[in-house]
Amino acid sequence: MRGRHLGPDLGVVLDGLRIAHEFGFGSLEEMARVAWFLERSVYEPESLREAPGGVRFALRNPPLRMGAFQAIDLFWDGRLLPRTQCSVRPGDGSSARPFDSVTRAAPVTLAPGCRVEFFAEIGAPGPGAHTLKLELRSLAIPPTVWFQVSDHVRPAGTGHE
């Protein structure tokens, strides 16, 4: 584990212990079950694929917050990618939007029930599992919504095209 990730990871553990102490381990177990369910219902399994110049992946529009977002960031294996190298295609028939074009004045809307596709220009992804962390900042409701998943990159031309 890299030192800069120790604080947030330890914070999650401490929050979990506080919840277990205040509300019992049953509450903590239920929260973990809900988080596990959300992770599996948000990320489209095995959607992390090679793409020309990088990778792509998809979310089934999350049961998190639907609506308009004023900023999107993507981390690849803990490294923040430049917004100019990433794009989102909301799945409502609109074309892909570079992350740097998503602003308060020109938000991206993720409609309920739509498959949302993301692309990251990273070059060759390399073998093994990779971790993606997506951060979305809503126009209306703070704080930042984030989602993290680890998966292996699969060859292009398989799965949803």
Identify whether 158 is part of a domain. Answer: no
| The predicted structure's pLDDT at residue 72 | 95
Identify whether 160 is part of a domain. Answer: no
What is the total count of domains within the chain? 2
With cut-offs at 50, 70 and 90, classify the pLDDT of residue 66: low
Separation CA 74–CA 81 (nearest Å): 6
The yes-or-no verdict on residue 80 having pLDDT over 80 is yes
Kindly state whether residues 10 and 52 are assigned to the same domain: no
Kindly state whether residues 33 and 73 are assigned to the same domain: no
Kindly state whether residues 8 and 34 are assigned to the same domain: yes
Kindly state whether residues 77 and 36 are assigned to the same domain: no
Kindly state whether residues 107 and 61 are assigned to the same domain: yes
| The predicted structure's pLDDT at residue 1 | 37
* Mean pLDDT score, 58-84: 84
Kindly state whether residues 131 and 71 are assigned to the same domain: yes
Angle made by CA atoms 78, 116, 89, in degrees to the nearest 5: 95
Upper half-sphere CA count for residue 14 (Cβ side, 13 Å)? 6
| The predicted structure's pLDDT at residue 104 | 92
Identify whether 140 is part of a domain. Answer: yes
Kindly state whether residues 29 and 70 are assigned to the same domain: no
Kindly state whether residues 134 and 71 are assigned to the same domain: yes
Identify whether 157 is part of a domain. Answer: no
Kindly state whether residues 56 and 133 are assigned to the same domain: yes
Kindly state whether residues 22 and 82 are assigned to the same domain: no
Kindly state whether residues 24 and 93 are assigned to the same domain: no
Instruction: Write the burial class of residue 74 (CB in 10 Å: 0-12 exposed, 13-18 middle, 19+ buried).
Output: buried
- Which of 22-36, 66-80, 147-161 comes out lowest in average pLDDT? 22-36
Q: Which residue has better confidence, 35 or 127?
A: 127
Instruction: Write the burial class of residue 132 (CB in 10 Å: 0-12 exposed, 13-18 middle, 19+ buried).
Output: buried
Mean pLDDT score of the chain, rounded to an integer?
80
Domain that holds residue 62: 46-152
Identify whether 127 is part of a domain. Answer: yes
With cut-offs at 50, 70 and 90, classify the pLDDT of residue 2: very low
With cut-offs at 50, 70 and 90, classify the pLDDT of residue 62: low
| The predicted structure's pLDDT at residue 87 | 98
E strands, 10-143, are 49-51, 54-60, 67-76, 79-80, 86-89, 97-98, 108-110, 115-121, 129-138
Kindly state whether residues 29 and 67 are assigned to the same domain: no
Identify whether 128 is part of a domain. Answer: yes
